[in-house]
Amino acid sequence: MTKSDEEVLRVEDLHKRYGDHAVLRGVSLTLTRGEAKVVMGSSGTGKSTLLRCINHLSPPDAGRVLLEGQPLTPATLNAMRRHIAFVFQDFNLFTHLKVIDNVRLGQRRILKRSKAAATERAMQELERVGLADRAHYYPAQLSGGQQQRASIARALAMDPKVILFDEPTSALDPELTGEVVTVMKQLASEGMTMLVVSHEVGFARTAADEIVFMDGGTIVEQGPPSTLFANPAHERTRAFLKVITHQESA
Ligand SMILES: Nc1ncnc2c1ncn2[C@@H]1O[C@H](COP(=O)(O)OP(=O)(O)O)[C@@H](O)[C@H]1O
Ligand SMILES: [Mg+2]
């Protein structure tokens, strides 16, 4: 939580529909450098679509995404997307590649780093997430928590300006979420700019600068965790928080 006023990511009035289903109905938000923002909301409410539209994995129908003031357009997309890392719910590691090769791949192909430089950086990032001793394992030889930490190391090795996390712990057994949350808290405290879709109340309370609550493709409410958890303004937010904070204490 070493937030500055310098804007890294600006999302302006994003719209996205699939057929006649309007999934995003005008979503706007900004992230300043070092800010960690957590997006919450019921299943099907458009959270993954929002992240996918931000890096144009799914192109938005309307609205703009600006990175450090520069809009993402078809012409700038390839050059700019490398600055936006994505951590997926299901890790998305290449199963036929060792952990170290997963962490080297984007560095080699996209950043054109030498093998030595990519290896050195991969080992630094694996060290950072506590996986240096698993560098030469295949993903299937790791626990889900280790696989997710490897995918975070892969994201970090690309020197992203912002990391988008899509429910990074929701595919994990409960006993494995803690190790991933610990790494994410560490990144937030070191000043990484992060937009995190997650219902991890522990992370949200202690590491988030702001919580954004989405419902039906729009932002219903946003604010610092202390306010949002203690004093939600909207009934939908209250009902949702009741469910997830109840799960936390169960
Ligand atoms: N590629 C797609 N084609 C059609 N419908 C989609 C597609 N992706 C998402 N949707 C629909 O958009 C809605 C929001 O999905 P999603 O963004 O995944 O929600 P969340 O991540 O909040 O659970 C859902 O109704 C989902 O079925
Ligand atoms: Mg989702």
Total domains, the chain:
1
**Which residue's CA is the closest to the ligand 1 atom numbered 3?**
18
The CA 216 to ligand 2 mean position distance, Å, reads 13
Dihedral of CA atoms 226, 231, 235, 236 in degrees, nearest 10, equals: 0
The answer to whether position 2 is within a domain reads no
Q: What are the start-end ranges of the H helices in the chain? A: 47-54, 77-81, 99-109, 115-128, 144-156, 174-189, 201-207, 225-230, 235-249
The answer to whether position 60 is within a domain reads yes
Residue 199 tokens, joined: 């219902």
In the chain, how long is the greatest CA-to-CA distance?
A: 55
Atom of ligand 1 nearest to the CA of 58: 1
The answer to whether position 188 is within a domain reads yes
What residues are neighbours of ligand 2 (ion), with CB under 5 Å? 47-48
CB atoms within 10 A of CB 10: 18
The CA 166 to ligand 2 mean position distance, Å, reads 7
Residue 3: per-residue pLDDT: 60
Residue 74: per-residue pLDDT: 87
Rounded to whole angstroms, how far apart are CA atoms 66 and 224?
23
Rounded to whole angstroms, how far apart are CA atoms 23 and 92?
24
Residue numbers of the domain that contains 139: 7-249
The CA 98 to ligand 1 mean position distance, Å, reads 32
Helices 144-156, 99-109: inter-axial angle, 10-degree rounding: 20
The answer to whether position 71 is within a domain reads yes
Rounded to whole angstroms, how far apart are CA atoms 214 and 218?
6
The answer to whether position 103 is within a domain reads yes
Residue 35: per-residue pLDDT: 97
The answer to whether position 18 is within a domain reads yes
8 A C-beta contact, residue 138 and residue 131: no
The candidate with the shortest Cα–Cα distance to 218, out of 9, 22, 24, 1, is 24
The answer to whether position 1 is within a domain reads no
Residue 243: per-residue pLDDT: 87
- 3 state SS of 215: strand
Pocket test for ligand 1, best of 20, 40, 49 (most atoms within 8 A of CB): 49
Residue 1: per-residue pLDDT: 46
Mean pLDDT split into 10-residue runs, the chain, 250 residues: 80 97 98 98 97 95 97 91 95 97 97 98 98 98 98 98 97 94 96 97 95 96 94 91 75
Residue 56: per-residue pLDDT: 94
**Which residue's CA is the closest to the ligand 1 atom numbered 7?**
18
Block residue for tokens 């357009």? 73
Report the CATH number that the domain containing residue 36 is assigned in CATH. Answer: 3.40.50.300
| Residue ranges of E strands in 19-74 | 21-32, 36-40, 62-67, 70-71
